[in-house]
Amino acid sequence: MLFLGYNHCMNQKRETIRRRVFDIIQIGNRSDLASRSFDIFIVITILLNIIVTFLQTFKTLAPLHPAFDAIETVTILIFCVEYALRIWTSRYLFPGESPWTCVRKFLLSYVGIIDLLTILPFFFLSGFVAFRMFRVVRIFHLFRINANYDSFNVIKSVIYEKRNQLASSVFIIFVLILAASMCMYSAENEAQPEYFQNAFSGIWWSVSALLTVGYGDIYPITTLGRILAIIISFLGVGVVAIPTGIISAGFVEQYSKAANSTVSLEMGTSSVVVDIDSSWIGHSVEEIREGFHCIIILIQRGDAVFMPSESYRVALKDALIVYHEKEN
């Protein structure tokens, strides 16, 4: 009995530590000194790592490369520790799931993939040019700096909510690029076989024409080719405007929602503070809307107040403005 009691006590202590580590590295609470200090420390580490990565490309700074290598090693080790801790605490990101499912979901998440691709090149792939390019992935760590604040969150919300329309516009651009490449190959192959050897050779020209860049290194010289180039260039102006219009409309919608939600608390809305017993902890805004028939309008986390995206997950001590839907 004493042994079982000791084990239970140790398990409770381990879970308390795990929960505290999760609050520090995942929640990003400005009112928590440890969490705030960790955020600042990670931001400095990310910036230092990226700066060193850039400076290592300067041959004139070759005498300083040993120091750069040492800084890179230290920062990568910090990323490794952070990555391990995020895996260890992943069960709190996905409550109700099995431990292995939580780990798998984290590893396949945006943060998990970026963290892994940041670490791998340093240990295993430094000898291959193609794999060394994965070091560029470190720059995407910068997205984590503003991840929980309104300006960055609006951008995420717009892209997420307009993902279907953006995917459709990208598909249209892809089809037009292929069509333009085939047309230009047919018109220019005989006149310029060195530039338009096959349909794939025309893709470079079609991309620069449709996206209105026009480098001028490859251009049509036949009458038919020039007529097609005029038509394709006009189509390019419209193609570029499609995703731009979608994103612009999305920003207008997001800021309109934010303005309307902050004017007044209409009938059916309430203020909620997430406590330790809440069943909402770890669930996304979309899951809460579908499972509890509640729309989260605003979230206050520490000093930051923002409108959450559908994929945003509620955490302990979040203050929420919630609209309660009427069930049919």
Residue 18, domain member (yes or no): yes
Residues 253 and 269 in one domain: no
**pLDDT for residue 282:** 74
Residues 56 and 92 in one domain: yes
Residue 93, domain member (yes or no): yes
* Residue found under tokens 């099995």: 98
**What is the tally of structural domains in the chain?**
3
Collapsing DSSP to helix, strand or coil, 8 comes out as helix
Residue 151, domain member (yes or no): no
Residue 252, domain member (yes or no): yes
Q: How confident is the model at residue 259 (pLDDT cuts 50, 70, 90)?
A: low
Residue 118, domain member (yes or no): yes
Angle separating helix axes 223-263 and 201-210, nearest 10 degrees: 50
Residues 7 and 141 in one domain: yes
Strands of the sheet containing 304-306, edge to edge, are 269-273, 319-324, 294-301, 304-306
Residues 79 and 119 in one domain: yes
Residue 21, domain member (yes or no): yes
Segment 37-93, tens digit of pLDDT: 888 888 888 888 888 888 888 888 888 888 988 998 898 899 889 889 888 888 877
Q: Tell me the DSSP string of 217-267.
A: SS---SHHHHHHHHHHHHHHHHHHHHHHHHHHHHHHHHHHHHHHHHH---T
Residue 211 sits in a domain of what CATH number? 1.10.287.70
Residues 297 and 205 in one domain: no
Residue 155, domain member (yes or no): no
Q: Which tokens go with 43?
A: 């931001």
Give per-residue burial for 243-259: e unless 16+ CB within 10 Å, then b.
beebbeebeeebeeebe
Give the C-alpha distances (Å, rounded to integers) separating 275 from 34, 75, 256, 284, 315.
19, 35, 30, 16, 9
Residues 254 and 314 in one domain: no
Give the C-alpha distances (Å, rounded to integers) separating 280 from 92, 93, 284, 321, 325.
12, 11, 8, 14, 16
* Residue found under tokens 């309008």: 297
Residue 49, domain member (yes or no): yes
pLDDT reading at 266 higher than 50: no
Q: Which of 259, 276, 296 is the last residue of a domain?
A: 259
Residues 137 and 239 in one domain: no
Q: Which of 236, 259, 282 is the last residue of a domain?
A: 259
Residues contacting 27, CB < 8 A, separation 6+: 35, 301, 315, 316, 317
- Domain housing 44: 2-145
Segment 190-240, tens digit of pLDDT: 888 887 887 777 788 888 777 767 677 777 888 888 888 888 888 877 877
Residues 108 and 232 in one domain: no
Q: Which of 233, 259, 285 is the last residue of a domain?
A: 259
Closest by alpha carbon to 35, among 279, 315, 281, 283? 315
- What single-letter DSSP state applies at residue 28? -
Residues 9 and 79 in one domain: yes
Residues 279 and 253 in one domain: no
Residue 289 sits in a domain of what CATH number? 3.30.70.1450
Residue 20 sits in a domain of what CATH number? 1.20.120.350
Residues 94 and 37 in one domain: yes
Residues 30 and 43 in one domain: yes
**pLDDT for residue 287:** 81
